[in-house]
Amino acid sequence: MQVMNKKKVLKGICFVLIFVVLFFFFQKLLQAKWIASDSENSASTSAWIEYRSLEENSLDVLFLGTSHSYFAVDPMYIYDRTGITGYVFGGPGLRMDLTYMNLEDALKTQTPSIVFLDMSSIQFDFQQEEAKCHKVLDQLSMTRSKLEYAFNTESEEMKPLDVLFPFFRYHSRWSDLGKNDFKYVLNDLDDTYIRGHYITYQSKETEFHFYEDVDYVLTDRNLDYIKRMKRLCDEKGIQLIFYKIPTPTWYESQSEGAKEIAEMLDVPWLELFYEVDEIGLDVKADFRDKNNHLNQRGAEKLSAYLAEYIQEHYDLEDQRPTNKRWNEDLIRYKKLVESKIPK
């Protein structure tokens, strides 16, 4: 009788193990993926694969924020000028809760000296579109923060199971499967070397001034997650810096609000909206679109400014003499950027 019971238990364990393995295999296959094309532009799936391929604790600086961040900050350009290693994680309309989760996951393999947080989204009191949320959530490991988010998404579209297990969101995606889905499962996607940046030479003339002011209200949720980022950085011995990437979509009340938060939390505040001339940005040529994002010309100017700021205020080692991986990637990156310059 005991032998029979042991066999039943063993069969039950084997069934559970096989089910779990198959479940996560098909989840990885079916979930949506955001893959960079020919290493040209940052996409969230590719960005996280590249990030996790880096040697542990090899990054000096991490840049976080909305899509403003990955258009405006070029870590490879900064490395070329200074030998400082960096990475940028951004997302369209990314709210502070998802930005915190990006930071939390990123610090599992890296402990940078500095984290720059773009404050563009302090006024966001709405839930992003479901697809934009999945671009972040589906790349992140299971954490207490992810569990908390799943049951407090403030979205009728997103169900807790969809957040925690993308299989339930994408189980019907069979007809959309392509080559990259299978390459992703086999860990065989083409490697990228752009450190989260988005390269574009698209250009649109814009006007640069504060928007007509509005009543700015900082939500308790946003403030809570900003405080969590500060606490997490303090625990890791990381210098957190608030900054605002210069874009025409900004209000004076938001600028003052960001400054107040920085003072309250004793965090350095770089309001780059006022530094457009010093950075050297040309409103006729350095913006990708009229209201928001810098193009590659603008990104290089802003990145040069940030590189100089970092060197003036922090003593970070020049890694160019010894960092083989970054030097090899830099050669490829320069060729890529040069190939995108309009003729």
Strands (E), 93-238: 114-118
The CA–CA distances, whole Å, from 249 to 10, 22, 80, 207, 323 equal: 61, 46, 30, 10, 38
Rg of the chain (C-alpha set): 22
Please state, for a pLDDT cut of 90, what percent of the chain lies above it: 47
Host domain of residue 70? 35-340
- Please report whether residue 4 resides in a domain: no
Strands (E), the chain: 61-66, 86-91, 114-118, 239-244, 269-271
Check residue 211 and give its pLDDT: 63
- Please report whether residue 148 resides in a domain: yes
* Stronger pLDDT, 326 or 187, i.e. the higher one: 326
- Please report whether residue 239 resides in a domain: yes
Is the confidence at residue 271, as pLDDT, over 60?
yes
CATH number for the domain spanning 65: value is 3.40.50.1110
Q: What amino acid occupies position 195?
A: R
- Please report whether residue 6 resides in a domain: no
- Please report whether residue 10 resides in a domain: no
Check residue 334 and give its pLDDT: 95
Q: Any idea what DSSP says for residue 142?
A: P
Count of structural domains within the chain? 1
* 106-124 as b/e: b if 16+ CB within 10 A: bbeebebbbbbbbbbbbbb
Write out the H or E segment, with its range, that includes residue 264. helix 252-265
Check residue 315 and give its pLDDT: 95
Average per-residue pLDDT for the chain: 88
Are the C-beta atoms of residues 26 and 177 closer than 8 Å to each other? no
- Please report whether residue 9 resides in a domain: no
The CA–CA distances, whole Å, from 206 to 171, 203, 239, 293, 298 equal: 43, 9, 34, 10, 13
- Please report whether residue 161 resides in a domain: yes
- Please report whether residue 284 resides in a domain: yes
pLDDT in tens, 143-199: 898 888 888 876 667 788 888 898 888 888 999 898 888 888 888 877 789 999 999
pLDDT in tens, 54-96: 999 999 999 999 888 999 999 999 999 999 999 999 888 788 9
Interval 106-112 mean pLDDT:
97
pLDDT in tens, 276-288: 889 999 888 899 9
Give residue 39's pLDDT band: very low, low, confident or very high (50, 70, 90). very low
pLDDT in tens, 119-136: 988 877 666 677 788 888
Is the confidence at residue 31, as pLDDT, over 70?
yes
